[in-house]
């Protein structure tokens, strides 16, 4: 579930995503160790999510890989 505002006018290249039922530090560690995807764990202000920073250098394949990794973690 995305924690970033749903309104496109308030969205940008940085997203915060929570994997329900999974500790954020576990999610971040698995993304790094199993998929080589670097994210930042966000726990301040009551957050339990990872910050994803996309740029012009990321491809659709990169995003697909990230979504697949998050899906695998959510189902584990």
Give the start-to-end residue ranges of the domains of the chain. Answer: 8-75
Residue 2 DSSP label: B
Model pLDDT, residue 1: 43
Model pLDDT, residue 11: 64
Model pLDDT, residue 18: 92
Q: Which of 76, 74, 73, 3 is nearest to 35 (CA)?
A: 73
Model pLDDT, residue 21: 92
Burial class (CB in 10 A: 0-12, 13-18, 19+), 43: exposed
Q: Which of 18, 23, 13, 4 is nearest to 70 (CA)?
A: 18
Number of Cα atoms under 13 Å in the Cβ half of residue 58: 14
Model pLDDT, residue 51: 93
Which fold would CATH assign to domain 8-75? Answer: 3.90.1150
pLDDT in tens, the chain (76 residues): 455 556 666 667 788 899 999 999 999 999 999 999 999 999 888 888 999 998 888 899 999 999 999 999 999 9
């Amino acid at each position: 579930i995305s924690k970033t505002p749903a309104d496109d006018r308030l969205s940008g290249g940085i997203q915060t995503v929570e994997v329900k039922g999974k500790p954020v530090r576990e999610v971040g560690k698995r993304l790094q160790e199993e998929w080589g995807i670097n994210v930042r764990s966000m726990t301040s202000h009551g957050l339990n999510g990872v910050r994803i920073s996309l740029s012009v250098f990321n491809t659709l394949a990169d995003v697909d890989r990230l979504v697949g990794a998050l899906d695998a973690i959510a189902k584990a």
